[in-house]
Amino acid sequence: MGFAWDVFGDGRTSLRGGYGLAYERNFGNVTFNVIQNPPAQTVVALTAGVDVPTLSISRDNSGPLAGSGTTVRLPGSSLRHVREDIVNAYAHFWSASFEHEVSQGTVASIEYSGSAGRALYSLENINRSGAGLVYLGSPATTPSGGTSSRLNGQYTNINSRENLGYSNYNALIFGIASNNFRNKGLQFTARYTWSAAKDNLSSTFSDSNANTSLGLLDPFDPSFDYGYADFDARHRFVSSFNWEMPFFKTADNSVVRNVLGGFQLTGIFSARTGNPFTVFDCTTASSGACPRYVPTGAINSSGSGNSVGANSFNYINLPAANPFINPIAGNGVVGPFPADMSKRNSFRGPGYWNMDLGLYKQIRLDRTIQRAASHGSL
């Protein structure tokens, strides 16, 4: 729902606003993967002489387990889990804008835009190694009578599809546009955006650059990963223009007018500040989940910028890392995490800018040629 108001009734000043609520369907990729769960299907690793007597080539789907007399206990296998109370992800979004025609054909604007994503889809391993020792205080039992450091010793990784993601976005946008600036044949737009995008998970599969973990770092504390989104750009400026050059456009000499006149210059310029990134310390990631970097001292976030090779440079000088040793499990893959661990996306990459220019020439055909072409005489 929204509204638009002609403030002074003269068609030159407007106030607009609106609010919306949108839902996202639960896409089938992760949900459909539950067909891979035992007992219907599983993936196991067998060792000759240990799990089975021999491993020979077989055309049977059961491989070395085909026939009678060969049985093995199903070893620990991974699971795909869809949380039973999962709902459709949704987002609130709202906006307000004030526009005013400052001169003939030129409009300036101030806009605010915001959104809040809730119950966003997440995917994380809720049965990591060491989790049982941390959250249960003791090892779990396995079907074979052994022990496991996981929460559920009967299985290995349990990738759970849940609604643990959430996001917030706020932006202030300043703009100006003209369809013929002061009757000079110049059309242009320019928009500057000052914004902040925050979330605890920027994509369901955590597939951004340098993201070493699936889902949340701590699946039992969704807020622990709340920080700037992977795509957050604090400042962004975009401008475009199209200028019909007036030079020689009305020259008396037709040769000069047709050869040197009729040019158009166009361009698009965009610039933004850098996107955030996370520094991980994978020296203790025995189960595939890397905790975030714990610095021993202050970080000079401005960086040195010194070249360290072809097309490479030293962007940030990081002090040595404090090793994260879990006080209960003796590893660095599950909580409790230290208070001085660096936050998610607490570092910024370099900015980016791009300029595209184009020069176009309009050539007018003689009217006699145009008439002949329209009658099919050419």
The answer to whether the predicted template modeling score (pTM) of the entire model surpasses 0.85 is no
Q: Measure CA 246 to chain center.
A: 45
pLDDT of residue 250: 74
Nearest to 357 by CA among 218, 230, 203, 243: 243
Which tokens sit at 324?
């994260």
Three-state SS at 317 = strand
**Residue spans of the chain under pLDDT 70:** 30, 43, 45, 68-72, 206-213, 284-288, 300-305, 325-335, 365-378
Parallel, antiparallel or unpaired: strands 306-309 and 312-314: antiparallel
Judge whether 299 lies within some domain.
Answer: yes
Judge whether 65 lies within some domain.
Answer: no
Three-state SS at 67 = coil
Which tokens sit at 22?
């949108």
pLDDT of residue 12: 95
Judge whether 50 lies within some domain.
Answer: no
pLDDT of residue 113: 98
| DSSP string computed for 64-126 | GG-SSS---PPPP--EEEE-TT---EEEEEEEEEEEEEEETTEEEEEEEEEEEEEEEEEEEES
Judge whether 296 lies within some domain.
Answer: yes
Is there a contact between 186 and 131 (Cβ–Cβ < 8 Å)?
Answer: no
Helices (H) and strands (E) in the chain, counts: 4, 17
Which tokens sit at 77?
């296998």
Q: In sequence order, what are the residues at sequence separation of 6 or more whose Cβ sits closer than 8 angstroms to the Cβ of residue 378?
A: 369, 372
Query: Tens of pLDDT along 250-276?
Result: 777 777 777 788 889 999 999 999 999
Alpha carbons 145 and 337: distance in angstroms, whole number: 31
* Number of domains forming the structure of the chain: 1
Alpha carbons 188 and 244: distance in angstroms, whole number: 12
Count the Cβ atoms, other than its own, within 10 Å of residue 77.
17
Alpha carbons 279 and 69: distance in angstroms, whole number: 53
Is there a contact between 192 and 237 (Cβ–Cβ < 8 Å)?
Answer: yes
Judge whether 84 lies within some domain.
Answer: yes
Alpha carbons 359 and 297: distance in angstroms, whole number: 53
pLDDT of residue 53: 77
Alpha carbons 112 and 96: distance in angstroms, whole number: 5
The DSSP letter of residue 373 is H
Is there a contact between 132 and 140 (Cβ–Cβ < 8 Å)?
Answer: yes
Judge whether 61 lies within some domain.
Answer: no
Alpha carbons 315 and 232: distance in angstroms, whole number: 19
The DSSP letter of residue 280 is B
Judge whether 60 lies within some domain.
Answer: no
Q: In sequence order, what are the residues at sequence separation of 6 or more whose Cβ sits closer than 8 angstroms to the Cβ of residue 186?
A: 178, 180, 241, 242, 243, 244
Judge whether 194 lies within some domain.
Answer: yes
Parallel, antiparallel or unpaired: strands 13-24 and 2-6: antiparallel
Show the domain range for 307: 2-25+77-374
